[in-house]
Structure 1
Amino acid sequence: MGATLRALRALVLLFGFYLLSLVLLGALAGLDIALFTWGHGPVALKVAIVSVLLAIPVVQGMFMLRTPRGEEPAGIAVTEAEEPRLWALVRDLAAATGTRAPGRIVLTADVNAAVSERSRLLGLLRGPRRLYLGMPLLTGLTEAQLRAVLAHEYGHFSGGDTRLSALVVRGRAQIGRVIGQFHERADGKVATERARQEAASAKRVAKGKKAKTVDTRGTGATYRTMAAIYTAYGKLYLRASLSTARAQEYAADLAAARIAGRDATASALREIPVLAASHDFYLDSYATLGLPAQLLPPRGEFFGGFGRLLSAREGELRKLRGELPTEPASPYDSHPPIADRVHRIEALPADGRTEEAKGAALALLTDPRRTLAVLEDTVLTDEVLAFPRTGAWEELLDASMAKGLSSARTPLHRALADYTGQPPTLAVLVEVIDGGRLWQLAERMPLSEQAAAAKGRAFREFVRPRLGEALRTMVLAEFSARSLLHWEFSWSRPAAVRLPGWASQNTPDDGPEAALEAAVDAALADHPDTAPLRGLLPPTPQPA
């Protein structure tokens, strides 16, 4: 489908929204006229009021005069003087695709690259362009792969894909606004009706009567019906507009392969989903590790550590590159399945460009470490930036885990405090176990239906795993409080706890961790023995 036909489709879809709105307004007006012509009294007046209330969101949606602009991602704008190699690459690719280069480059913290244009008059007049380029892409891609990614983005402009795209955005926004207003009004009606019924029930209870069950199932049904009508059209709108978008993605991929090479384009398509998943994991497991303890990694490492993770886990990432999604994320996904896109590119004839630009894309930057540090200042909140920084990742891990253990409150902690009326410490738990009251304590923990119904040995087997996990946490917290615990930091595997004396042991099987497991098992046995548990901890120093 050519650009002109795509623009025509966008106009038809937008006019369809206005036509639907006019039909609904006409139906409401016709209903009012019929009632006032052939009917009288409070019923006609009530229906007229309802029709006016229903018409308000429709009219407001129709007269949304400005197309909303998406929120720009936070980042740092870099000039040509600051990053000459990056700017040269961007300009060369724009020329190769036959389109305008952006007037501004913004480096972001997202796994994404996008070229946006602030056009006017729904795309009839060109506007300034910006390139948003994620530092995780620069960190994880080669220069050839980055060329393919940028050539793909430029391919949308050279193919006319973005012409009058504001029409599509405007239609989506208007339909979404109308649906949202109808749901908001329906929810308001439900809240009002619920409050009324609860107040009436309270009065009945005060008079010694039985309270009635609150029932709001039919409340707001008229608003939800109107929302359902627009939702149905919205689905049609999205399916029609996004089917064209998927075809545009295929065309942009071909443009990328022509400019950057077949192999670089296919490998970039394989790499981006892997980088996105890896970056999410990195942020959750590494970058934000110290936030509960209000600590930050060394300056520049909040985003800079991502490269270390990629290098350390190359084996895992290699497997992920072969596991491509074969289905769209949803029927309304604007992109085809990544596996289909890769296979289309890999089916192209070889072009002999396999060895081009295999160096890291991050090397395009003049001073990557400085850029990563400045990005932290731009993206992180002032509150987070005020946190102290640790000197190394190992220090960050130790401090974070110590904070987590000191504030741990497992179901066993809560049950122990409730059962004894004392602070839930390891010493108090040992006293309970020595007193033969462990299983009475376990009955106060949240239990599954099977555990709650079980008795004797069956009950003990059901609750023992949860007790073991909580007891390990209490022991580790005790070690941590006495500064006897160390955590081994690793980019390639989960953090491992190292207990006192580990370095003196030859194998893990006879080290303190094995002793901890044996002590926990002994304490939770049918005939408990807490001596191994007590023996793990050095005696508490007594005051002189």
Structure 2
Amino acid sequence: MTTGTGACPRCGRTPVSLDGALPWCAGCDWNLDAYDADRRPPEFGWSWVDRRTHRLATRLTRRQYAALVGRPLESTGRSLAGAVTVGMSLLLLLGVVGVAVAGVWLLVAYPFPNLAVVGGVALIALAVALRPRFGRLDPDLEVLTPEEAPELHALIREVATAVDAPLPHLVGVDDDINAYATSVGLRRRRVLGLGLPLWGALDGPARVALLGHELGHFVNGDIRRGPVTQPALTMLGNAADLFRPRGDTQADGLLAMVGEWLGRLVSWTLSRLLFAGHVVLVATALRDSQRAEYLADEMAARAAGTAGATRLIDVLLRTESVAMVVRNAVRGGQGPATWRVGMNRSLDGAAERLPLERQLTIREDASLFASHPPAGLRHRMLTARSPWQPAVELTEERAARIDAELARHYERAGRALSWSA
């Protein structure tokens, strides 16, 4: 941590900085809406566009936080962004159905053979390419049945009861420093995926909070998981890719060259217009997704207590530390018990930096395309409310039994993470 020069123009405190970031005020958040070009990867590729979209994202993120912090999250209902996304998805679905119907009509309306058949086949192929996708089970996820991991499934049932969430149809583990809840297939089967490096590095309250957060996605109205809203998130992007010009061709003759150039110009223009619509729809939908993340955090606090939920956010803020701790332990032949000890030490050693790291995320994680609010605002949202007491407690003995069920999977995940360094 470094201190800047001068004084904050709002409150008079001395600005601070971390790791070369633009200085800001730790007391009043002054200058956290500044665009730090040296620390942000480009999103659109033009600095003037990136600067303005970052300013817009920061304003929308702060406005959403201010609107939610003083009210019960459970009663927010469908937001305007969510309603717009659902409405546009339905319109896009109707459009695809219309394209398919038009294609079929061209096939049957005229005697065969005729040129209309070509148009009909093209329209049907376009409708198939733009059809909604319902997702598939990740092939890297190792599904665990209740017979294989009874203690883990029992804990999931307890947390689901505590947050009034339905049970997942499938529970699995993989090698990522992450966790997720999703629905797949036409029947929308609920899937809970736990990344073992993350799970193994969490203490008992944070593990309960992780389950509460992920199970909360089954009931918090997260727009990314609804089958009706998938067209708004994917269809225009797929269409833009279909119409994007591919490579260069060598036409013979002036007329052919002009025709090819005009065709590519029309194709490029249509592709850019479709992509612009895709960007607008995704940015709109992700406003509602960020609201759902706040509610999932609230459900994590209901299950594990506010302390467990905020600790989980701090661990997720430092995933590089998780990777380092797990790699070092695995290379020394140590399992998840050592991972947890190492992670606890890492958090304790970063106690002075953590508040500033959280605060800096308000600037660095602000984006029109972020599915999660900045970790600093998520932490503030939880601590600004009346504290929750744990509804589910995971003792060391029970955590050890769960780890024993996952021993074989821990070994594989640890090796994969160690080799990836």
Q: TM-score range by the shorter chain?
A: 0.5 to 0.7
Is residue 344 from structure 1 mapped to residue 363 from structure 2 by the alignment?
A: no
In the alignment, the residues of structure 2 paired with residue 281 and residue 219 of structure 1 have an alpha-carbon distance, to the nearest angstrom, of 52
The reply on whether 1:373 has 2:407 as its aligned counterpart is no
**What do the CA deviations read for 1:219-253 (whole angstroms, capped 9, x no partner)?**
83322111111111112211221111111111222
TM-aligned CA distance change 1:256 to 1:358, over 3 Å: same
- The structure 2 residue matched to 1:187, chosen from 235, 242, 246, is 246
2:160 equivalent among 63, 75, 94: 94
Check 1:217–1:326 CA distance in 2 against 1; reply closer, same or farther (3 A cut).
farther
Say which SS state the counterpart of residue 284 (structure 2) adopts: helix
Say if 1:356 and 1:112 are closer, same or farther in 2 by CA, change over 3 A: same
Secondary structure, counterpart of 2:181 in structure 1? strand
SS in 2 for 1:233: helix
Mapped pair 1:277 → 2:320: yes
Q: Which amino acid aligns with 1:246?
A: Q
* Matching residue's letter, 2:371: S
Report SS of the residue matched to 1:91: helix
Report the Cα offset of residue 128 of structure 1: 3.0
Shift of the 61–238 alpha-carbon distance from structure 1 to 2, 3 Å rule, reads: farther
Say if 1:358 and 1:66 are closer, same or farther in 2 by CA, change over 3 A.
same
Change (3 A) 1:236 1:7: closer
Determine the structure 1 residue equivalent to 2:236: 175
Structure 2 runs not aligned, ≥5 long: 1-75, 100-114, 254-259
Q: Could you tell me how far apart the structure 2 residues matched to 1:172 and 1:311 are?
A: 38
1:136 match: 197
Shift of 1:371: 3.0
Q: What code does the residue aligned with 2:203 have?
A: T
Within the candidate set 304, 311, 331, 2:368 is matched to 331
Checking the alignment, whether the CA contact within 8 Å between 2:142 and 2:172 is kept in structure 1 is yes
- Secondary structure in structure 2 of the residue aligned to 1:157: coil
Q: How many Å apart are 1:333 and its aligned residue? A: 0.9
1:252 aligns with 2:318: no
* Offset at residue 13 of structure 1 (A): 1.2
Given that 2:130 and 2:238 are in contact with CA atoms closer than 8 Å, whether structure 1 keeps it comes out as no
Distance 1:310 1:341 in 2: 21
Q: Give 1:13's aligned amino acid.
A: M
The alpha-carbon deviation at position 83 of structure 1 amounts to: 2.4
Q: 1:362·1:368 contact (CA, 8 Å) conserved in 2?
A: no
The answer to whether the Cα contact below 8 Å between 1:119 and 1:127 also exists between their aligned partners in 2 is yes
Report if the CA contact (8 A) 1:138-1:361 is conserved. Answer: no
Measured at CA, do residues 106 and 220 of structure 1 come closer, stay the same or move farther in structure 2, by a change above 3 Å?
same
Classify 1:241/1:62 alpha carbon distance in 2 versus 1 (closer, same or farther; 3 Å).
farther
Partners in 2 of 1:4 and 1:368 — Cα distance?
40
Q: 1:140 to 1:346 in 2, by over 3 A?
A: same
Is contact 1:3-1:163 (8 Å) kept? no
Distance in 1 (CA, whole Å) between partners of 2:268 and 2:147 is: 56
Give the deviation of 1:135 after TM superposition. 0.7
Shift of 1:68: 4.7
CA contact (8 A) 2:313 2:375 kept: yes
Question: Match for 2:179: what amino acid?
Answer: A
CA gap of 1:116–1:162, structure 2 versus 1, over 3 A, is: same
Aligned-residue sequence identity (percent) comes to: 22
Partner secondary structure for residue 365 of structure 1? helix
Residue type of the partner of 1:192? T
Instruction: Report the counterpart of residue 2 of structure 1 in structure 2.
Output: 77
- Counterpart amino acid of residue 77 in structure 2: G
* Residues 81-90 or 304-313, more deviating: 304-313
How far apart are the structure 1 equivalents of 2:403 and 2:150?
A: 8
SS of residue paired to 1:332: coil
Name which of 67, 75, 83 aligns with 2:149.
Answer: 83
Q: Judging changes above 3 Å, is the alpha-carbon distance between structure 1 residues 91 and 21 closer, same or farther for their aligned structure 2 residues?
A: closer
- 1:113 corresponds in structure 2 to 179
Post-superposition shift, 1:341? 0.7
Within the alignment, does 1:12 sit opposite 2:93 as a pair? no
Distance 1:345 1:366, change over 3 A: same
Q: Gaps (5+ residues) in structure 1? A: 25-48, 121-125, 198-215, 288-295, 381-392, 401-544
In the alignment, the residues of structure 1 paired with residue 217 and residue 161 of structure 2 have an alpha-carbon distance, to the nearest angstrom, of: 14
1:266 aligns with 310
TM-score (norm 1): 0.48
TM superposition shift of 1:260:
1.8
1:223 alignment counterpart: 267
Displacement, 1:306? 5.8
Q: Return the index of the structure with the highest Cα Rg.
A: 1
Whole-angstrom CA distance in 2 between matches of 1:4 and 1:297: 48
Using the TM superposition, give the Cα deviation of residue 18 of structure 1 relative to its aligned residue in structure 2, in angstroms: 6.2
String of CA shifts for 1:321-353, please: whole Å, max 9, x gaps: 331211335211111111001011012223455
Cα deviation, residue 89, structure 1: 0.9
Q: Which letter maps to 2:276? A: A
2:170 maps to 1:104: yes
**Aligned partner letter, 1:130:** V
| Structure 1 residue 315: Cα displacement | 5.6
Alignment RMSD: 4.5
Q: What is the deviation of 1:366?
A: 2.2
> What secondary structure does 2:372 align onto?
coil
Residue of structure 1 equivalent to 2:11: none
Q: Distance in 2 between matches of 1:144 and 1:306?
A: 15
Q: 1:129 to 1:22 in 2, by over 3 A?
A: closer
Tell me, yes or no, if the aligned pair for 1:78 and 1:104 is still in contact at 8 Å: yes
After superposition, the Cα gap between the structure-2 partners of 1:4 and 1:182, relative to the gap in structure 1 and judged at 3 Å, is same
Deviations 1:83-110 (A, max 9, x none): 2221111001111222221233211111
Alpha-carbon distance in 1 for matches of 2:98, 2:184:
33
**How many angstroms apart in 2 are the aligned matches of 1:315 and 1:354?**
25
Whether the aligned pair in 1 keeps the contact of 2:179 and 2:193 (CA below 8 Å) is yes
Report deviation, 1:177: 1.3
Change (3 A) 1:90 1:354: closer
Per the alignment, do residues 270 and 315 of structure 1 end up closer, same or farther by CA in structure 2, a change over 3 Å counting?
Answer: closer
Any conservation in 2 of the 1:77–1:106 contact (CA below 8 Å)?
yes
